[in-house]
């Protein structure tokens, strides 16, 4: 049987390397965001990786995700990396829309559109 615990530990940054923020929308928890900002766990040339981003279904398609992403970017200046699963069509469309607007279309689109990099 594979040693899941040590495999997981190897691939997952320690908790103190992560910045977890709840997204609060007019006083109501509407999602969460997880940012990796520890250079020890990031590739060269990357300051921040967006590890997880979630809006609860009730609050989707109201601009909450876009507002939260923009705020997260504004709070952390440097070289950003964002990944999506290739089969997650809503996420691909969301990040393309948000990042192209935020960067005024000045971003790198890698992995057939499933990874974006930009500097802010």
Ligand X SMILES: CC(C)(COP(=O)(O)OP(=O)(O)OC[C@H]1O[C@@H](n2cnc3c(N)ncnc32)[C@H](O)[C@@H]1OP(=O)(O)O)[C@@H](O)C(=O)NCCC(=O)NCCS
Determine, following the binding rule CB under 6 A, whether residue 7 of this chain makes contact with ligand X.
no
Q: Does 94 bind ligand X (CB under 6 A)?
A: yes
Q: Taking the CA of residue 2 as centre, how many other CA atoms within 13 Å lie in the half-sphere pointing to its CB?
A: 5
From 6-14, 18-26, 73-81, 92-100, give the range in contact with ligand X by CB under 6 A. Answer: 92-100
Interface with ligand X, residue 22, by CB under 6 A: no
Report if residue 29 touches ligand X, rule: CB under 6 A. no
Q: Which of 18, 34, 91, 114 binds ligand X (CB under 6 A)?
A: 91
Integer Cα distance of 59 and 55 in angstroms: 7
> How many residues touch ligand X (CB under 6 A)?
17
Residue 102 C-beta: closest distance to ligand X, Å: 11
Binder among 22, 29, 45, 63 for ligand X (CB under 6 A): 63
DSSP 39-97: GGGS-TT-SEEEEEEEE-GGGTTTTHHHHHHHHHHHHS-SEEEEE--TT-HHHHHHHHH
The dihedral region occupied by 38, where left means phi > 0, alpha psi between -120 and 50, and beta the remainder, is beta
- Residues interacting with ligand X, by CB under 6 A? 53-55, 60-66, 84, 88, 90-91, 93-94, 97
């Amino acid at each position: 049987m594979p040693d899941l615990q040590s495999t997981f530990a190897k691939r997952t940054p320690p908790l103190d390397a992560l910045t977890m923020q709840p997204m609060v929308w007019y006083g109501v928890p509407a999602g969460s965001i997880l940012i990796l900002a520890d250079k020890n766990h990031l590739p060269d040339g990357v300051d921040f990786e967006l590890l997880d981003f979630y809006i609860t279904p009730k609050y989707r398609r109201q601009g909450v995700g876009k507002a939260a992403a923009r705020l997260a970017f504004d709070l952390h200046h440097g070289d950003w990396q964002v990944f999506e699963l290739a089969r997650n069509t809503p996420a691909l469309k969301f990040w393309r829309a948000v990042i192209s607007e935020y960067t005024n279309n000045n971003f790198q689109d890698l992995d057939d559109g499933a990874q974006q990099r930009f500097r802010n």
